[in-house]
Amino acid sequence: NQAKSLAISFINSNKGKPLLLADEYVFKLNKNTTTTKYWICTLNGCSAKVHTDLNSQFIKIVGDHNHFPEKEQLEVREFREKVKQRAIHETTPIPRYYDGAINAMEYLDGLSFAVAKRKKW
């Protein structure tokens, strides 16, 4: 168990469910109690968990990951979430915004290809 402070943030899954991001790992909500939210690593078979209070403030991390962080996959998720939010809130045609965003990401090795390859929004 680790009682250290951990910087966390949140994005939405493809289905609109909250995902917790911590140290380049992704966690999904497993269950709620009257005081605590329990998050589990999204990689099947990994035992790492995060506990937050009901206001999504970090409490602790339990267990260790049995895999390395998937930084590129996380960046793809964040990119796709940004594209979705812009599509909802802006009037820019989606293909134009999408192409511009892909071009702006060329500095990331293989990331723009991974995003472009998966156009299932």
Task: List the pLDDT tens digit at each of the 121 positions of the chain.
Answer: 455 678 899 988 888 899 999 988 999 999 999 999 999 999 999 999 999 999 999 999 999 999 998 888 888 887 877 877 777 887 767 677 666 666 666 555 555 555 555 544 4
Give dist(CA 104, CA 98) in Å, integer. Answer: 10
Query: Which H or E run contains 22?
Result: strand 18-22
The pair phi, psi for residue 112, each rounded to 5°, is: -65, -35
Query: Which residue's structure tokens are 């589990």?
Result: 40
Handedness of CA 88, 92, 95, 100 (dihedral sign): negative
**Where in the chain are the domains?**
8-62, 71-117
Indicate whether this model's pTM tops 0.85: no
Give dist(CA 93, CA 91) in Å, integer. Answer: 6
Q: Are 72 and 55 in contact (CB under 8 A)?
A: no
CATH number for the 8-62 domain, one of 3.30.390.50, 2.20.25.240, 3.30.465.10, 3.30.70.1380?
2.20.25.240
